[in-house]
Structures are given as C-alpha cells and as structure tokens.
Amino acid sequence: MTAVFIEVQGKTMPDLRKQTKGAASRRYLSLHQTSSLSTALLPVSLLALPMFVQTAWAAEDDNRTATEVFVTATREKRAIDPNLPASSQRITAEQLQNLNVINTEDALKYMPNMAIRKRFIGDENATISVRGNGTSQTARGLVYADGLLLSNFLGNTHSFPPRWSMVFPEDIAQVDVIYGPFSALYPGNSMGATVAITTKMPTKLEAMFKAQVFSQQFSLFGVDGHFDGNKSTASIGNKVGDLSFLLGIDHLSNAGQPFVYASQPRSTQAAGSVAIPVTGAYQYTDPNGAPATIFGVNAEGAERAVQDQFKFKAAYDITPTLQAGFTFGYWRQQVSNSTQTFLRDANGNPVYSGLVNVGGYQYNLPASFFAPAASESENQLYGLTLKSRHASGWNYSAVASYFDVSKSIARSANSGLASNLSGVATFGNGSGWKTLDLTADYKPDIVAGSHWPTIGYHYDNYFLENTTYNLTNWRSSDDGSFNNAFAGKTETQALFAQDAWQLSRLWKLTYGLRYEDWRAYDGVRATSSAAQHYGNRQLSYWSPKAALAFKATSDLTLRFSTGRAYRFPSVSELFQGSVTGSTLVNNDPNLKPENDLAKELSAEWALHNGSLRMSLFEDDVKNTLFSQTNTTVFPNVTSIQNIDRVRSRGIELSYAGEDVLLRGLDLSASVGYTRSIILENSKNPATVGKNFYRIPLWRANLVGSYRFSDQVTASLGGRYSGRQYNTLTNTDINPDTFGGTSSFLVFDSKLTIKPTRNTEVGIGIDNLTNRRYYVYYPYPGRTFYLEAKVSL
C-alpha cells in the first residue's frame, strides 16, 4: 500500500489511512472547512504512474487562512482530479467486483451517457459510444492502459476497436472516463471521451486464479438453444527490493449467438418448375417496414472465439524519485464463423443455394449465402516508461509504445457447399502503430496566483497493409492468385502546453494550446491488373482549449469549458475503397479532418456521502467522416465522405453515493439526453435535419449494491437506451427486428460471496428479463454467470 500522510501547517500526522477512504475522506475534509480542492491529472504519458498526488486548500477559521493538505493514497481510492477541464467519471476495482465483468470493456457499461457495442462475450469488435459519437466512430475515443495507447486508429469503424484484450479485468485498479476534447494534453481523437485504465502493481507476493463459466439462452427465428463459454485467469507478482513485477495468463472460449441472418425482400415472382420447393423459411418485416424472408444464418453469423492472453509488467525504482517500467502483452484469437440453413427440401435435405420455392414464390439464393468463414490473429504490445515522482516541483516522463499485428488472416469460402473448397483470404500482417510521449509538469504550492504548467511532445505512426488472395482451399492454403491490396501510413507530431492558473481562492483558469502536424504517405490500392499510388499529404492545425472554474460554495463548483479539436483521417478511410472487377472505386485520399468546436457547462456538488454532476454540452463538428451515399452524382457513389456539419447537444445528470439511505447501500445513477442532428450535407441533402447514426435520444443507467455483511454483497443494475436510427435518412421505421436499432431496458444482477479472506464466489445474470433487443444485430439473451476466485 502506498504511504498515506497529511501535512497541515508543517505538522505531520503519519497514519490517517481510514480518513482518506470514501465518505470518511469527505467528512474529514469538511470538518476542516475545505473551501477548494484541486488536483492535477498528469497527461497521457503519466497515466501509468502508480502514484497520485492530491492537493487541497483548506481554511482553518472565518478569516480563511490558507492551509495546505497533501494526500497520497492507494490508487483504488484516489479522487478524480478537480483540476480537469472537463466532466469525468471513475469506477474502481472494488466496485467492479460487484458487477458481471468478463472482458475489460465491461467496466464501462454503467458509465454516464455511454454505451458498449458488445455483441457477445469475447467480441473482438467491442466499441464505445458516448454523447454524440456513435459505436462505429471508433476514432473519436482514446483508450489508454497505464499511459500506453490501446486505441486502434488504423480505421474508424467497428472493425477497428480498442485493443481491450491487452488488459486483464482482474488487473484493473480503476478506470477514468474524461468527456470531450477540452484538454490540450490529448489529441483530437478525444472528441468523444478519453478512457484511462490504471492497472495494479504488487507491493508484496501476490497470486490469483479465477475461473468463470457462462451460458446464454437465445431464441430467434430458427435458432433456439444455449450458447456456452468459459474463461480462466491466473497471475503472480511480487516486489523484491526496488523491482516489482506481475505476470498473468488468460484463456477464453465462447460460442456467440447467431447475429446475422441471410435474408431477401419478400418475393412477388411466382415460382417456376425448376425452383426447389423448400420449407423452414421465416417471414418478417425488415427495419424499413418492408416484408422480407429469412433463410438461415449467413457467413457473418454465429462466432466461436478462442482467445489467449499473456501479460508481463515490471517496474524498477532507479532512485526513490525515478522509476522505469516495461510492459509486454500478447494476445491471440481464433474465430470460426458457422452458418446454418433453415431450408429443407421434400426429403429433409438442407438446401444452400439456387432457385427455391417458398410458399409458391421464387427466390434465387447466391452460393455465398451460407459460406463459412474463419480468422486468426496475433498481437503484441511493447511499452517502456521512465518517470520522476517528486511531491512538488518539476516531474518528467517518457512513454514509448509499439503495437504489432504480427498475424492477421481472415478466410472465407466462396459457397456453403462442402464440395467447394475455394475461397479468399485477407492478410493484414505487419500492421500496427508506434507512439512516443515526452512530458514535463511543474507542481506548485497551491496559493492564489499559482500556476501548474504542463508541456510536452507527442508522436504517433500508424501503418496498415491488407492483401487478399484467391485460394483453392480456403481453410489451409496461404498462397494463391493475387486479388487486391491496399496499404498506407499516417504520422502525427504534436507540441502542447497547458496551465492551471489559480486566479484566486474561488476562480481557476485552465488553458492550453496544441499544435499538430499530420501527414499521410505511401498510400496504394492495387488489383491484379491495376495499381493506384496516392500522393503524400500534410496538414497542420492549432487547437486552443480553455476552462474556467468557479467555486460557488464549499460544495459546489461551476465550470465552463471550450475547445477546438481536429480528428485526422485514418489510413483505411483514405486508401481502402472497394473493388469492382479490376477497377478501383470508392475511396478518397483527399478527405478533410473532422473539425469540432466543443463546449460544456457543468455543475458539480460534493455531497456528504457522494457526488452529483450536471453537464450541458455541445459539439459542433464540420467535415464529419462517415460512410454515406453521394446522391448528387450519377451513378450514386457510396464511400467514406465528409458530412458538412453535424451538431450534438445534450444534458447529463450523474450521481454516485455510498451508504445511501441505509448503511451498506451504494448507488450510481445517470441519465443523458443527446440530440445529434445533421445540419448541412451537400452530398446527400435528404439527410439534412435528420438524427445522426446510432445516437439515442436518451440513455440511463442505475446500479446499486448492498453489503449484507463483509462476506456477502448483492447488486442490481439497469441499462436503458432510447430510440436511435441505423440510417442517415432515418428511414428505418421498424426498429424492433433484425437490422433495426431498438430501444431497450435490460437488468443485470450479481451475488458475491467471500467465504474466506482469500476466496470469492460470484453468481450473476445479465439481461434478467431475457429482453430481445437489437442494434442491427440481436444482442445476447439472458446469460448466467458462475465464477470462483482464489488469491494470496
């Protein structure tokens, strides 16, 4: 445990650990008439620090004599930095113990005005949506683990999610979410939110083993059954002298429910004599309100995922105030996509393709409808850190990371017929990214007129290579005739400076400036008969930020924040189009960066047993990057394009409290309203005035846990998402079906029992009422969890 001390007017009280935890900490500070609390969040490169320094002002009498209070506490109980120029939220490891957490992204599912696109346990493509940013706008969210970047900015769709797999859920100390692009310390990818994961580091010999099993009930169309999985995690760590280390392994195997179905519009053509009469098809109404027919589970349907993870972390105290760290993460995944036809001929044989007769009407099923697929990948993360840890004065840090996609192969067959083995494979080996962050910040004595400056340099380099081959055996061969390829690189260098200026006891101004120089280069698209090389591009922008905070009372802080942010196009947005025969189409290497002017007005109350926040926000984004159809040209072109202007406005209310109404009851609740509207769109005027893609009007979360005793805790949570649209034209009028985006209210529960100090058993249920809901895909049905944990 990190040492805890409090120094008041030069006098040290060496052991006040109990008074630094939870509500007790708040009561202790209120007894001393705390008039202002200021903490500085270290920048991106300092997110890996195992130490946090919290500074506060207090007044000892009616004359408000300045008193300095310094607190250094365990990471699990650190207060969120009130110096932040934006709204923020935290969840700790202690709170996560009472939730059903299998994958790291599960830690975020109750965050205010946030949603997780997770189709099943082990979903590789789990993404986040926050405020006016949808689940497919993955380049609008930053995710760090101990200062190492996990965000995958090779693209901006669900195919480029953060690499959550580089963190064990059991390794998490806390997760902080910082809303909006209001800090100069972060790039424009923070337009949605910045997620900072802090992991644990042992201070003595520690060992842990955890086993989890889960089973989902699912019934839809021709599927009715259980889909089961398991996960096991083990870790061991120690601190020997100045060296601390942690080693962990993790294995997950799970079968997801079918979530993509083979369908066609309802036929009006009478069946001919050559059409095979079949049974088993399902009739339904599609999201646009049109009748349609479902024939089975197609190639993107049910996934079985097997994942293995290895993690090693080490930290060495070179001196009492200088620490070096090393991180290595390895993650491997194998996925098989199974298909299923619901169709049977008169003899009961399955039918996969060709002309079929369904109820007297004729359909032509393509051979690819039920073609199976599989993929495998291996990824490595390397991280190096060097940082100083002075309680005051200057601190310095250097953080370097390298994420290597050493293996990435996606295979698919050309048809579902067992006799046809031909197919294609796409290789993405050699893709990845590199980052470097150098930061210096000066912590002053907090008095009127004091400054807390931070300056730094950032570098990142993203590189992507994709090559597709035609294969004679789609399952095993690694060579064949060349089909197509694309590749490219982006690079960003940035300088930033920010200062927290304590104007007076009541006023604080945090202001900053970020300069970014971006370039795209080595872009190429190729087919077997043609190749297109794209010229290099370079852009530079300044991004100013400012936040003014006013301490209206001892418990209420008001803050207005504003900032400009630029989100540059990713490699795949610039260079990955589509291929029709030997012709390259539908990509634009001259895309403009997204340009956001963000504003937020917030009020934060420190209550005797918790906190309450209200935030009004607006994001006015020019040149939003999104896939749409340009209807002003003929023929129409569908591609990644710039939408001229999209504005999101909303309000959030968030509450968190301990011992609410009765001792042992902790509550966390939030409600958010967001209206995201397309204001200008020269390429598709019909979308003007429409709601933007997959941004619900309302989101609400409520989760409560009750401690019956030190050994038994029960929790119950609810997640609500309102109406949203799956098209920019808002023509999907039937949301409660496959392909639609329905509103939903689902409940989760868990009972945690600790028979001894070193053992823990959990029993949980997600989607308690077995609600069938869709965000294009049908999301999981009622899922049961059982887990057991043993630790030293």
The pLDDT value recorded for residue 84 is: 84
The pLDDT value recorded for residue 109 is: 94
Say whether the peptide bond before residue 635 is cis (omega within 30 degrees of 0): yes
Residues whose CB falls within 8 Å of the CB of residue 481, separated by 6 or more in sequence, listed in order: 469, 470, 528
Distance between CA atoms of residues 266 and 284, nearest Å: 9
> Which is it for strands 481-502 and 88-92: parallel, antiparallel or unpaired?
unpaired
Q: Is residue 784 part of a domain?
A: yes
Q: Is residue 105 part of a domain?
A: no
Distance between CA atoms of residues 235 and 237, nearest Å: 7
| Tokens at 31, concatenated | 């007894």
Say whether the peptide bond before residue 187 is cis (omega within 30 degrees of 0): no
Query: What residues does 283 pair with on adjacent strands?
Result: 293
Q: Is residue 158 part of a domain?
A: no
User: What residue numbers bound the domain in which 774 lies?
Assistant: 206-791
Closest CA to 469 of 420, 417, 416, 429: 429
DSSP H helical ranges for 64-215: 93-96
Domain count, the chain: 1
Q: Residue type for 101, please?
A: V
Cα 512 to chain centroid distance, Å, stands at 26
Chain position carrying tokens 């619900």 = 696
Distance between CA atoms of residues 499 and 515, nearest Å: 15
Q: Is residue 35 part of a domain?
A: no
Annotate 144-161 with b (16+ C-beta within 10 A) or e (fewer). bbbbbbbbbbbbbbbebb
Q: How many CB atoms lie within 10 A of CB 186?
A: 27
Q: Residue type for 282, please?
A: Y
The CATH number of whichever domain residue 592 belongs to comes to: 2.40.170.20
Q: Is residue 78 part of a domain?
A: no
Distance between CA atoms of residues 450 and 508, nearest Å: 10
Contact assessment for residue 294 and residue 321, using Cβ atoms and an 8 Å cutoff: no
Chain position carrying tokens 């529960």 = 749
Closest CA to 413 of 377, 371, 379: 371
Sheet strand arrangement including 66-72: 34-39, 53-59, 66-72
pTM: 0.88
Distance between CA atoms of residues 598 and 545, nearest Å: 9
Mean pLDDT in order along the chain per 10 residues (792 residues): 34 34 36 33 31 32 34 38 84 95 97 96 95 95 96 94 94 96 97 96 96 96 94 97 97 95 95 95 96 91 93 97 97 94 95 95 93 94 97 95 96 83 91 97 87 96 94 83 94 97 95 98 90 95 97 96 98 79 67 98 94 97 96 90 98 96 96 98 97 97 96 97 95 95 97 97 97 94 98 92
DSSP 727-765: STT------SSTTSB--EEEEEEEEEE-SSTTEEEEEEE
Distance between CA atoms of residues 249 and 231, nearest Å: 11
Contact assessment for residue 440 and residue 415, using Cβ atoms and an 8 Å cutoff: no
Q: Is residue 108 part of a domain?
A: no
Q: Is residue 659 part of a domain?
A: yes
Contact assessment for residue 56 and residue 36, using Cβ atoms and an 8 Å cutoff: yes
Terminal CA-CA length for the chain: 15
The pLDDT value recorded for residue 419 is: 72
Distance between CA atoms of residues 490 and 539, nearest Å: 11
The pLDDT value recorded for residue 585 is: 54
Chain position carrying tokens 């979530």 = 259
User: How are the residues of the chain apportioned to helix, strand and coil, as percentages rounded to the nearest 5?
Assistant: 5, 60, 35
